[in-house]
Amino acid sequence: MSVGSADQAEGAGPLWSVEMRGRVAIATYFNPPMNYATSAAVRELSLLVDSWADPAIRAVVLGGANPGRFITHFDVSEILSTNVDRERFIAAGPKINYEVHDLLNRLHSLDKPVIAALNGDTMGFGFELSLATDFRIGQYGDFRYGLPEVRLGILPGGTGTQRLARLVGVNRALELILRARVFTPEEALEMGAVSELADDALARAIVIATEIANLPAGAVGIAKRVIYQARELTMAAASVMEIDAAFRAKLDPESVTRMSEYVALPFEDRRAWLDQASRPDSH
């Protein structure tokens, strides 16, 4: 059941469909035959990201609804069409790139986990979108991931050069981007570009999202924020940020409830609680 789709400006119907499963928003992209991204898809997703700030939503999952494709890449025909009138193109400047950066930065900054299910080809903008999420679940199969833009004479312009370098290291990012390399899910796992591989990436992403959605939302949001914000700081400055974040997390009423639940247990039952309490099948 679709409960949160945004309409395209052109009125052609939504490209993204959103289903709520408990406290998890599951957004799937469908633009046959190739599942290319478009400017309309970017605008739709931007509206959805705003809606996902709702505290009732504890986690977000992104996936592809076209079998064998998450988001193949941005529609190259659309890029070419904007470049026909060179003077107008130059005068407009990199407007779409600013919009994409703003979208992906807002997605990345949500105070809840965002998980990408790479359940098919995921290149160009599709891979950049996945890099802006917190976890990437790859899927076994004859799929390709990566940033091949240089092969087309363009650059990854949606935060890809920066996020990939931070994820896999500068040397690996240089090799992948400058050589326009695409890679298999198994290679993605080996280099740390995905967290794990699954037979059904979307189903696995939903399991993980549900698990985290059952944890105290305040602590999850603060932990995510301090990990990302502190990584560019010195250890001393990062420690100060962590101390403040840890203090603020303890003020959350849900944290008090969870800690009280834990200490009420006999000592011999506490490890089992830590092991099982956050798992979807225990609720």
Residue 229 phi, psi dihedral angles, 5° rounding: -70, -30
pLDDT for residue 54 is more than 80: yes
Q: For residue 283, what pLDDT is reported? A: 42
Q: For residue 1, what pLDDT is reported? A: 34
Question: What digits encode the pLDDT tens for the residues 217-242?
Answer: 999 999 999 999 888 877 777 677 77
Sign of CA dihedral 33, 38, 43, 48: positive
> Where does the chain have alpha helices with state H?
39-51, 76-82, 86-92, 95-108, 125-131, 160-168, 170-178, 185-191, 201-213, 217-230, 235-250, 253-263, 267-276
pLDDT for residue 281 is more than 60: no
Q: For residue 9, what pLDDT is reported? A: 37
Report yes or no on whether pTM surpasses 0.75: yes
Class of domain 16-213: alpha beta
In the chain, % of residues over pLDDT 90? 64
CA 11, distance to chain mean position in Å, is 26
CA 152, CA 169: separation in Å to the nearest integer?
24
CA 184, CA 171: separation in Å to the nearest integer?
19
The residues assigned a catalytic role are 128, 149
Which carries the bigger pLDDT value, residue 4 or residue 87? 87
